[in-house]
Amino acid sequence: MINPGIELKENIIRYTIIGAATISSLLLLAMLLFILRESWPIWSQIGISAFLSGSSWKPLNSPPQIGILSMIVSTLWVAGGALLIATPLGFGCAIFLAEFAPSSLAAVLRPVVNMLTGIPSVVFGFLGAAILVRFFEVKFDLSSGESLFAASIILAIMVIPFIVANSEAALRSVASEYRHAGIALGVSRQYLTMRILVPLARKGMLGALVLAFGRAMGETMAVLMLAGNTLRLPGSWFDKGEPLPALIALELGSSIPGSLHYQALFAAGLVLVLMVIAVNLCVNLLLKRIQKEV
Amino acid sequence: MKQTMRDLLLMTWFWASGLLILMILLAIIIYLTGRGGTFISSEFILESPRGFPLGTEGGIFPAIKGTLWLILLALVISIVPGLLTAMYLSEYGRSGRLADFINLLVQSMAGVPSIITGLFVYALGVVTLGWGISLLAGGVALAIMVFPVIVVSSRNALQAVDENYRLVANSLGVAKSYTLFRIILPRAAPGILAGILLALGYAAGATAPIMVTAAAIIASSSGALFEPVMALPYHLYILFIEHISLNHAYATALVLVGLVLFLNILALSLNSLQERLNRQ
Amino acid sequence: MKAVEIINFSTFYGQKQVLHNISMEFSSNSITAIIGPSGCGKTTLLRSINRTAEMESGFRSEGDIKVLGKSISEFKNLSILRRRVGMVYQTPVALPLSIMENVLFGPRYFGVKNRSDLEAITERCLRRVALWDEVKDRLKRPAAQLSGGQKQRLAIARALAVEPQVLLLDEPCSSLDPASTGMIEDLLMQLAQDISIIIVTHNLFQARRISHETAFILDGRLVEKSSTQKLFESPDQAETKGFVSGLFG
């Protein structure tokens, strides 16, 4: 039994697969480099600190004022606010699903949480704008109910399913010996959960929060429809603002390719990507430290 | 008894969280169906927008077509690179440095905000390559967006196939690719398909990337690569933001959510089929 | 020529040494049993012979193994080595294919295309493992439907289809019922007429029944190897005596 050419065929397949995998993954680096290149004049002419700390965005003036501080602040505020709301609910629901929910209820709740992740962000934005914003306008007698706060609420609803799914998985993966030991000691399940299980699962749970924060920072549609889109520096959670993704989405189409305005939008994009990466890195380091303690 | 009080509060917290989330989803579905359902008719599905301003009457057929074209194009572009990368990670790389690096890159790609993908394709495709606002640009942007999703779900499906098959095949002296294509891939097919369906659902609902690369307020969505298209998510956005028709907006949202949920449920059943297979 | 020669062979997983300087020979056309307590390296030894042990990360080896006179490190193409040395695992594994395709998995890869050749190979191999009569009417059915004993015989047939000269078996009967075990033991004794068989087993009765020679491995070291009768009835080493004495008080 001989098959001439088998080895050649196997090698062709092998190297095609390796090549394709490597090239595809380098796409990310290509994207980052491209954006860096398009935004380079901003960094070299205006400088990092001026760009990041300037709170006035009037790129079409002369002289143009290009500072994205308001957008950065809006991004952080809206995402941070979303996490503030989503964390207790998300953790509570995750603990509920992992430890306390009767299995029939859990069998309904889990697919529900799953389904929430599938609902497009534009639908959330739309419902938030049509219902929540209207509600604020009526209840508090405002001319416009849009605000960072409204955006945070909707963002929270959007990220809760991610927090729940990841946290529940983390809790479930805690070895059952701990549960048995706790129950044998006679403590309540609540006590056992909060004092033993959650601390053991904190790595996964924190990771879930990071993922959620990154997602909230990068979300476009919900904030586009709810945050108010003003270029002023927001002074409180209830002010309007314009997070970075909204800025890019709104102004990209009307900017002139190659102009300072265009380059500034790329610079804003780069800042957004770096912020998301930074958040991920920070918590990865934090998690590694927790790992060492254990 | 302080501990009992604390226990009660904690329990309330857990139950309240669970029930609240359940209610939120039910509320969304019920409200959408209620407000939008009455406006869905065969006319709505099959006709183009009419009336003044455009969209107050007529239907959303071009938007449905456009969304389908976009996700089809995204699939065609991303499926081969996605599957090949997954095959590498599952069969050839496993634990080497290159595999770790690729895993990291793919994971990071999943975290990139979709507007950034749109930004990139706008600069590269729409402007530099001269495609203009086009179906092609939108398809490419969505393909980049779903690439990590396909890689991760396919890789997981491949890795979940019984390791014993690989051991046996190896000891017979056959090459990895032979085993991969004859045994592993067919065995993991339901799971891979499920991942693809989920990716399609994700692409169908994405607004930000297509907003800047492909979507127009009105277009015929005939499938021409270099023409702009209408798309369900963008149409929904425009209907609302321009105050064209709240009722049609609800109906459009319902159609979009219906499409995505349909894809998700299909994926779910494929996944449980896969799990049953793996347990055999 | 000896079927397999192990020469000063040691293996390491990372820092931990598993096999210590083992030297032994396996005769052709006979059955050699390897016995010893669990976890003392018997499986590692088997997997080193067909070079599947090195697929685990951290694996390192020293020394040499010769298969049919040729050192295993000289085989540039591992495929050829693995055809000469077949392996059957502890868990009966049926590939997710039909019964016939299971047997033909190797031959198809190696280029056999002619339909009558394929059918001949299938019948020949299934007959050698005494499965033919049981499955000849359902060759195209999924192999997953077979019983454990049938799957294991299928695994042997599958290994035989690529015409090995050495067959390694790692506790092949440990998950089977006595009737299936008996069937497999019978067919191994038949096969030994033209194939060299090395079988790892924790069933001392089995080793006694079917093997010509037996080797006792303890803590990764070869303690004693001799004809089966001698090893069980009058072993040289005290440790061997202790291990087998449970049976023959």
B231-247 per-position pLDDT tens digit: 999 999 998 888 888 88
- Residue with structure tokens 């909060």? A194
| Spatial distance between the Cα atoms of B212 and A249, rounded to a whole number of angstroms | 7
Domain of residue A136, residue span: 65-293
Q: Which chain C residue lies closest to A4 (C-alpha atoms)?
A: C111
Cβ atoms < 10 Å from Cβ of A84: 12
Q: Show Cβ contacts of residue A55 under 8 Å, excluding neighbours closer than 6 positions.
A: A67, A69, A70, A233
CB distance B172–C95 less than 8 Å? no
At residue A247, does pLDDT exceed 50? yes
How far is it, in rounded angstroms, from Cα B218 to Cα A249? 19
For residues B135 and B227, the answer to whether their CB atoms sit within 8 Å is: yes
What backbone phi and psi angles, to 5 degrees, belong to B255? -60, -45
Q: Is A129 on the interface with B (CB under 8 A)?
A: yes
User: Which chain B residues are Cβ-neighbours of A284 within 8 angstroms?
Assistant: none
Instruction: Judge whether B115 lies within some domain.
Output: yes
Q: Are B123 and A263 in contact (CB under 8 A)?
A: no
DSSP, res C7 = E
Instruction: Tell whether B170 is within 8 A of chain C (Cβ).
Output: yes
- Helices and strands per DSSP (H, E), number in chain C: 10, 10
State how far residue A289 is from chain C, nearest Cα, in angstroms: 26
**A17 in a structural domain:** no
Chain C residues whose C-beta sits inside 8 Å of any chain B C-beta = 50, 52, 55, 57, 78-83, 86-87, 89, 91, 93, 95-97, 105-106, 109, 144, 155, 158-159, 162
Is A42 inside a domain boundary? no
pLDDT of C248 = 45
pLDDT at C165: 92
3-state secondary structure of A16: helix
- In this predicted structure, what is the pLDDT of residue B55? 67
Residue A12 contacts B, CB cutoff 8 Å: no
> Is A126 in contact with B237 (CB distance < 8 Å)?
yes
* Chain pair A-C, CB pairs under 8 angstroms: 18
| C142: DSSP letter | B
* Contacts of residue A99, Cβ cutoff 8 Å, sequence gap at least 6: A171, A189, A193, A197, B14
Average pLDDT for chain B: 89
Q: Does residue B206 lie in a domain region?
A: yes
Q: List b or e across A171-201, with b for residues whose CB sees 16 or more CB atoms inside 10 angstroms.
A: beebeeeebeebeeeebbbbbbbeebbbebb
- Look up the ipTM and state it: 0.89
Q: How far apart are CA B52 and CA B57, in angstroms?
A: 8
Cβ-nearest to B212 among A90, A215, A253? A253
**How many domains is chain A partitioned into structurally?**
1
Contact C33, C215 (CB under 8 A): yes
Average pLDDT over residues A33-53: 88
- Could you read off the pLDDT of B103-127 as tens digits, one per residue? 888 888 888 999 999 999 999 988 8
What confidence score (pLDDT) does residue C249 get?
A: 35
Measured between alpha carbons, how far is A290 from A183 in angstroms, rounded to an integer? Answer: 26
Cβ-Cβ contacts under 8 Å, B95 against chain C:
57
Predicted confidence band at A62 (pLDDT cuts at 50, 70, 90)?
confident
Q: How many CB atoms lie within 10 A of CB C239?
A: 16
Split at pLDDT 50, 70, 90, the class of A292 is: low
Reported as a single tens digit per residue, the pLDDT across C123-160 is 999 999 999 999 999 999 999 999 999 999 999 999 99
B64, B236 Cβ separation under 8 angstroms: no
Residue B276, pLDDT above cutoff 80? yes
pLDDT band at A4 (very low <50, low <70, confident <90, very high): low
d(CA A244, CA B78): 28
Residue B132, domain member (yes or no): yes
The pLDDT tens digits of the residues spanning A226-240 come to: 988 888 888 888 889
Predicted local distance difference test score (pLDDT) of residue C98: 93
Question: Whole-angstrom Cα distance, residue A50 to residue A72?
Answer: 13
| Contact at CB, C106 and B186, closer than 8 angstroms | no
Angle at Cα B246 formed by Cα B245 and Cα B249, nearest 5°?
Answer: 90
H helix intervals, A119-243: 121-127, 134-140, 148-172, 176-185, 189-192, 198-200, 202-218, 221-226
B89 occurs within a structural domain: yes
CA nearest neighbour of C128 among C211, C213, C188, C50: C188
- Mean residue pLDDT of chain C comes to 89
CA angle B10, B11, B17 (to 5 degrees): 90
Phi and psi at residue B30, in whole multiples of 5°? Answer: -65, -45
B144 located within any domain: yes
For B12-30, what is the mean pLDDT? 90
- Counted domains in chain B: 1
pLDDT averaged over chain A?
A: 87
Rounded to whole angstroms, the Cα distance separating A96 from B91 reads 38
**Residue A100 near residue A84 (C-beta atoms within 8 A):** no
pLDDT band at residue B266 using 50, 70 and 90 as cut-offs: very high
Strands C221-227, C70-71: pairing is unpaired
Q: Is A2 in contact with C163 (Cβ distance < 8 A)? A: no
Fill in the amino acid letter for A63: P
Q: How many CA atoms lie within 13 A of A111 on its CB side?
A: 13
The residue of chain A nearest to residue B264, with distances taken between CA atoms, is: A118
pLDDT of residue B52: 64
- Please report, for the domain that includes residue A280, its CATH number: 1.10.3720.10
pLDDT, tens only, A162-218? 999 999 999 988 878 888 888 888 888 888 888 888 888 888 888 889 889 999 999
Q: Is A173 within the bounds of a domain?
A: yes
Contact C112 A1 (CB under 8 A): yes
Q: Is B39 a member of any domain?
A: no
- The proportion of chain A whose per-residue pLDDT surpasses 90, expressed as a percent, equals 36
pLDDT tens-digit readout, C29-73: 899 999 988 876 888 999 999 888 888 778 888 999 999 888 988
Least confident of A40-49, A118-127, B16-25: A40-49
Kindly report whether the peptide bond that precedes residue A59 is cis, defined as omega within 30 degrees of 0.
Answer: no
Average pLDDT over residues C12-39: 89
**DSSP SS3 for B135:** helix
CATH assignment at residue B223: 1.10.3720.10
For residue A146, pLDDT over 60 is answered with yes
pLDDT of residue B278: 82
Q: Which residues of B touch A218 (CB under 8 A)?
A: 111-116
Q: What is the largest CA-CA distance in chain B?
A: 73
- Whole-angstrom CA distances from C14 to B8, C30, C59 are 52, 35, 6
Backbone dihedral region of C150: left (phi > 0), alpha (psi from -120 to 50 degrees) or beta? alpha
**Length of chain A (residues):** 294
C22 bridge partner residues: C9
- pTM comes to 0.87
Pairing of strands C85-88, C166-170: parallel
Its domain, for residue B128, covers: 64-231
> A256-282 pLDDT, tens per residue?
888 888 999 999 999 999 999 888 888
- Tell me: pLDDT of B62 over 90: no
Percent of chain B surpassing pLDDT 70: 98
Show residues of chain B in contact with A259, CB under 8 Å: none
Question: What pLDDT is stored for residue B53 in this prediction?
Answer: 66
Of A191-195, B187-191, B207-211, C243-247, the poorest mean pLDDT is in: C243-247
In whole angstroms, give the CA distance from residue C92 to residue C177: 13
Judged on CB neighbours under 10 Å (0-12, 13-18, 19+), C116 is: exposed
Average pLDDT over residues B204-214: 93
CB contact under 8 A, B206 and A120: yes
